[in-house]
Structure 1
Amino acid sequence: MSARSTRPGSNGFPARRDPVAPKPPSALELATVEDHDLADEATYRRLAFFDLDLSGRRADSVEFTQCRVKGTDLSGTQLDGARLDDCLFEHANLANLRAEKSSMFRVRLSTARMTGLHWVNGALRDVTISDCRLDLSSFRFTAFQHVVFQGCNLGQADFQNADLRGASFVDCDLTSAQFSHARMAGARFTNCALAGIGGVTSMSGAAVARQDLVTLSHVLAGALGIRIEEDD
């Protein structure tokens, strides 16, 4: 479904819509480690990073535009000040990748390993993340606008102080995720596992599917010091 312009919603963000899809390039050049290894302030355009080992690198202020990343290993890499525009990630390994003050615009990530990812003090806009493993990830102080997590494992993920007003979570495992001091008016949760989440009192203004309310009510009661007694 194509996105269209909308008037601002009550939470200050544009009214909810699906994320805009990445703009596909007319053609892709096959990237190689020899010619396209990560380097400070490098720009990568219309490249296909297929099955490369780029793990353990450090590169500041890099830009990826209209790139496709498939089967490539970026685990343990640090990309501070990075910018990703119109990119596709499939079956990539982003475990323990660290990025501060970095942004994603019109990006799709699917079936990626992202355990321990740190995307801190950054921005995501028009991003879809589906069927990814994101347990123990951190998105502290990051702003989300038109972002959808679908079918993801987000167990013990850290969203402290994040701006989640433009985020949706669908069929996600958020067990023991942390939301303390997050801004969540307008965030949506549908068919998600919410047991043991932290910072539940930050969820004021969020929309939660009816089937998720039983678990959430127990978490909220615990946060407020309410004891739930079983019937005799």
Structure 2
Amino acid sequence: MRAARRPELRLPPLEPYGGAELEPDGDYDGLAFQELDFAGQDGAGARFMDCALTGCALDETRLRHARIFDTALTAVRGVGTDLAETTLRDVELTEPRLGGTQLHGAVLERVVVRGGKIDYLNLRKARLKDVVFEGCVLVEPDFGGAHLERVEFVDCALKGVDLGGATLKDVDLRGAASLEIARGVERLAGAVISTGQLLDLAPVLAAELGIRVE
């Protein structure tokens, strides 16, 4: 089991963002976005490099195909944020409050999600490499058809996870505070779980194998 490589984020001195609306294919470099409301705005294809977003509202914000590198997102919140097919590399996401976030087809590399709660996270067919979920609550996350490599779940609550069609390699679930798999338990090959988690999953595994327990 190879451990995930965490991002080493060292932001340079940042300039405050002027507050204009996001622009499609915009280029944002070395900026601090503080307590701004981006609800409904369109930043599809934008590039964020060496940025910090703190306390920003992302309700229905369109960031499809965006590229987010060496960036810290802290206490961002929103429902229906569209990050489909986005690339996130060397990113720290801390204490988010998100719901229905679209990350299908996205690429996440050296990403840490720390604290907070994300409901109905859509990561279908995404590629996750060196990703750590730490101390957060994930409600019905969808990893259908996704590829997970060197992904760790530490002190997380995982509720109603969908692993249908997913591929796992060096995925460490032992640190999950709770593990509830709604679909795709047969895709756990390539993951490591604890003895206690095995006992909790026994009924689901038995049902998958067609074993009747009386």
Interval containing the TM-score (normalised by the shorter chain) = over 0.9
1:68-101 deviations in Å (ceiling 9; x for gaps): 1111101211111100001111111143211222
Q: Report how far residue 51 of structure 1 moved.
A: 0.5
SS of alignment partner, residue 23 of structure 1: coil
TM-score (norm 1): 0.86
Once residues 207 and 107 of structure 1 are traced to their aligned partners in structure 2, the CA distance between those partners, rounded to angstroms, is: 25
The CA RMSD measured in Å over matched residues stands at 1.6
| Residue identity (%) | 28
User: SS of the residue aligned with 2:69?
Assistant: strand
Of residues 150, 169, 179 in structure 2, which corresponds to 1:194? 179
Distance 1:33 1:55 in 2: 13
Q: Tell me how far apart the structure 2 counterparts of residues 53 and 185 of structure 1 sit (CA, whole Å).
A: 38
Decide whether the 8 Å contact of 1:166 with 1:186 is kept in 2: yes
* Aligned partner (choices 16, 26, 35) of residue 30 of structure 1: 16
SS state of the match for residue 129, structure 2? strand
The SS at the match of 1:53 is: coil
Q: Which amino acid aligns with 1:144?
A: L
| One of 203, 208, 212 as aligned partner of 1:218 | 203
Specify the alignment match of 1:5 in structure 2. Answer: none
CA distance in 2, matches of 1:181, 1:93: 29
Q: 2:7 aligns with which of 8, 20, 45?
A: 20
Contact 1:32 / 1:52 at 8 angstroms: preserved in 2?
no
User: 1:48 maps to what in 2?
Assistant: 32
Asked whether the 8 Å contact 2:4–2:131 carries over to 1, the reply is no
The separation in 1 between residues aligned to 2:84 and 2:139, in whole angstroms, is: 21
Q: Does structure 1 residue 107 correspond to structure 2 residue 94?
A: no
SS in 2 for 1:61: coil
Q: After TM superposition, give the deviation of residue 115 of structure 1 in Å.
A: 1.6
Q: Is 1:126 aligned to 2:110, yes or no?
A: yes
Q: What CA distance in whole angstroms lies between the structure 2 residues aligned with 1:177 and 1:195?
A: 6
Within a 5 Å distance, the mapping from 1:52-63 to structure 2 comes to 52-63=36-47
What letter is aligned with 1:179?
L
Cα deviation for residue 130 of structure 1 reads: 0.9
Higher percent of residues as strand: 2
Alpha carbons of structure 1 residues 151 and 100: separation in structure 2 relative to 1, 3 Å: same
- How far apart are the structure 1 equivalents of 2:180 and 2:107? 27
C-alpha distance 153-140 of structure 1, shift in aligned 2 (>3 A)? same
Residue 121 (structure 2) pairs with residue 137 (structure 1): yes
Does the 8 Å contact 1:191/1:212 carry over to 2?
Answer: no
Between the two proteins, the alignment pairs up a number of residues equal to 213
Shift of 1:196: 4.1
Per-residue deviation, 1:112: 0.7
Question: 2: distance between equivalents of 1:224 and 1:170?
Answer: 28
SS in 2 for 1:99: coil
Q: Distance in 2 between matches of 1:173 and 1:197?
A: 14
1:67 to 45, 51, 54: 51
Structure 1: gaps (5+ residues): 1-8, 10-14
Q: TM-score, normalised by structure 2?
A: 0.93
Cα deviation, 1:122-181, whole Å, max 9, x if unaligned, reads 100010001121121100111111100012211211000010122111122222110001
